[in-house]
Chain A
Amino acid sequence: MTNKKLLLFLRFIMILATILIMVYSKKGLHVWEPGYLIALVYFLSNLVLYLIPNELFKKSRFSFFVFLFDIITISLAIYLTQGIETDFYLIYFLVIFVASVSQDIAGSIPIAVVSCIIYIWLTLRSHPGVSFFSAPILIKIPFLFIISLVSSLWSESTRKELKEKKLLEKYNEDLQKQVTQIAAKEIELRVYNEKIIDSVPSGVIATKGDGEITTLNPEACRVFGLKKDPILGSNIKGLEGLSALWDKMAETIRTGLAVSRDEVTVRGSDNRDIPIGFSVSPIPGHGAHVPGCVAIFKDLSEIRSLEEKLKHAERLSYLGKMASWVAHEIRNPLTAIDGFAQLLPTTTDQKKIELFTDEIHKGSQRINHIIDDILAFARTKRKVEPQEINLRSLIETLIKDVRIKVNVTGDPFPISGEAESLRRLFMNLINNAIEAMGESGKLDINFSNDGIWAVTEIRDYGPGIPRKFLNNLFTPFFTTKERGTGLGLAIVQKIADEHGGKIEVESIEGEGTIFRIYLRILQTDGPK
């Protein structure tokens, strides 16, 4: 209720009380006596107040003057009636009460003081013989103040409570709004996150620690051939086709370690094997506890299919190149064999016979060498039967008959490998180097170890390999030599691969070429 309404309401009660007292007091007035006119003025004043704007009522000074008017009106009623003997003095209590309720204690005390002064003046004026300290005065004055104080304190406390209640209500209202806003934002964020996960072109699947599926995006559904709704909340352990993936996810949940760039084959709902490339990350929990994990994966079926097609095309391409190469390479020595065989019967000259048979022999050797190269290159990649090999001894047997200067340095750790294959590997590289340099060249062979690899470095000081050829060096049938078969380095690469090793090549035109062959050091203390 506003100040104005409250004040008008209370004043209306006061007017009623005044009229009631006028009517029912034993010393009451008769109709049309001045008291009634006062009551009428009083009532009209309330109507005037009704027209005054609200803002004015908020000012304590205005209220003070209103109450002062009330006190004066009541005092006038007392004065014009039967003086202090009437019951009108009770209206003072009402005014003080109303003033206290409408204002704070600072506003109500002056009203009480004014009331006291006027009441004492009226009493003393109507009873000149009565002492200020007489009982009727002394008893009533403290009551006026007590009423003022008590009602002020009561109204103050009530106002405070009301204010606090209002504040609390407002606070609750704000809190409610904030909760609603946060809830709306949370929903918005969740929807947004779901959209992000759904729009990821990779498959995403997340599970709790016990395997309960919590997230499954559309790509995952597509790859696995599953529908999202019945699967969410079910346990991945129940999906037999995904057991290989779950094994990896369970490992992450157990160890807390992420798995990156791994591959497994899962089985889709149509019983089709699907190779997937995936990474698994643990979902962080408290301390070492991993509450779940998320796997992100790609369907590799198409890539695998393309790889197969590419391999097939490469195989056909190699086959075509090999057929052409065989035709040319074998027919030349075959021509020599066939031709000299035709010439043999035409001569009796022993020297000629020796020359012709020697050429026949060389031709057959060359064909044999070509067949060896084809077999070495074309044989299926196989697992090497490991034996302990000292690379230095192996290479020293290869270079003992070469006609150029070979400088061997360093001491390799023993490696695990197959002697015959490695002999071929190094023979091809050494022959290449010698062919590149001619018989006046020099060859440096150095051995070193880096803890994992035994590194053999073969350096020649020939013309070097043009940069444009470096990427194709190990491609089958690619050759920069005038009479190369194009299989030598392809075989070198193949043997290195079979041994789990690797090859590096560095070449500067005009300065020479370095081949570095990395082969794994034999681990003697570990399990073999």
Chain B
Amino acid sequence: MKKRILICDDEETIRLLLTEALKDEYEAVEVADGRDVLKLVTKEQFDLLIIDIKMPSIHGLDVIQRIRERGIKIPVIICSAYRLMADDVVVRTSDVAAFITKPFDIKTLKSKIFEIIGS
């Protein structure tokens, strides 16, 4: 049984790219709105969350914080266009498994995912 990855990005093309890149090895579920992440993670079991930071409805870091508040221990990879965020104190202290900046190398992404959840 494939491991499940939840992808959250407001850009449709990024969601499509991640899904296409990962769907052979993982089951990818995509949502455009951070609020949908909060609903889905409580209902379903996911092995990894890949989430953008700057989104119109809710900020990615807020989503992560609320997930943690609910006691959900899902590993998180932040995938953002902001390079500086990698060194951001908030990111370093908020239980994030990895930080990938756009544009990213797909092989690197896959290896990071493998490191975190295996295949």
Contact = CB atoms under 8 A, between A and B. Distances in A.
Interface of A: 327-328, 331-340, 342-343, 352, 355-356, 359, 362-363, 482-483
- Top 5 closest pairs, chain A to chain B, by CB: A482-B56, A331-B81, A335-B102, A335-B103, A338-B103
A328 B105 CA distance: 17
Given A328-B82, A482-B56, A343 B21 contact: yes
Contacts of B81: 327-328, 331-332, 335
Contacts of B56: 482-483
Contacts, number: 60
B106 A483 contact: no
A336 B10 contact: no
A337, A339, A340, A363 — most chain B CB neighbours (10 Å)? A339
Contact of A339 (B17, B57, B83): B17
B72 interface: no
A334 B103 contact: yes
Given A482-B56, A483-B56, A327 B13 contact: no
A336 B82 CA distance: 16
Given A343-B20, A483-B56, A335 B106 contact: no
A356 B82 CA distance: 24
Contacts of A363: 13
A401 to B, nearest CB: 22
Interface in B89-119: 101-107
Interface size class of B (residues with CB under 8 A): 20 to 34
A332 B57 CA distance: 18
Contact of B104 (A328, A339, A359): A339
Interface string B1-34: 0000000001101101100110000000000000
B20 A336 contact: no
Given A327-B83, A328-B82, A482-B10, A340 B102 contact: no
15 contacts: A327-B81, A328-B54, A328-B82, A331-B101, A332-B14, A334-B103, A335-B14, A336-B17, A338-B103, A338-B104, A339-B103, A340-B20, A362-B13, A482-B56, A483-B56
A349 to B, nearest CB: 11
A362 B16 CA distance: 13
A356 B21 CA distance: 11
Contact of A342 (B11, B14, B102, B105): B105
A331 B102 CA distance: 6
Nearest to B101: A331
Nearest to A330: B81
A475 B36 CA distance: 32
A469 to B, nearest CB: 15
Interface in B30-72: 54, 56-57
Contacts of A338: 103-104
Nearest to A362: B13
Contact of B106 (A331, A332, A339): A339
Contacts of B10: 482-483
Given A327-B83, A328-B82, A336 B105 contact: no
A339 to B, nearest CB: 4
Contacts of A352: 20
A334 B105 CA distance: 12
B104 A335 contact: yes
Contact of A332 (B11, B21, B83): B11
B32 to A, nearest CB: 10
Nearest to A337: B103
A331 B105 CA distance: 13
A335 B17 contact: yes
Contacts of B17: 335-336, 339-340, 343, 359
B12 to A, nearest CB: 9
A331, A332, A337, A342 — most chain B CB neighbours (10 Å)? A332
Contacts of A334: 102-103
Given A359-B13, A359-B16, A339 B21 contact: yes
A200 to B, nearest CB: 54
A335 B17 CA distance: 9
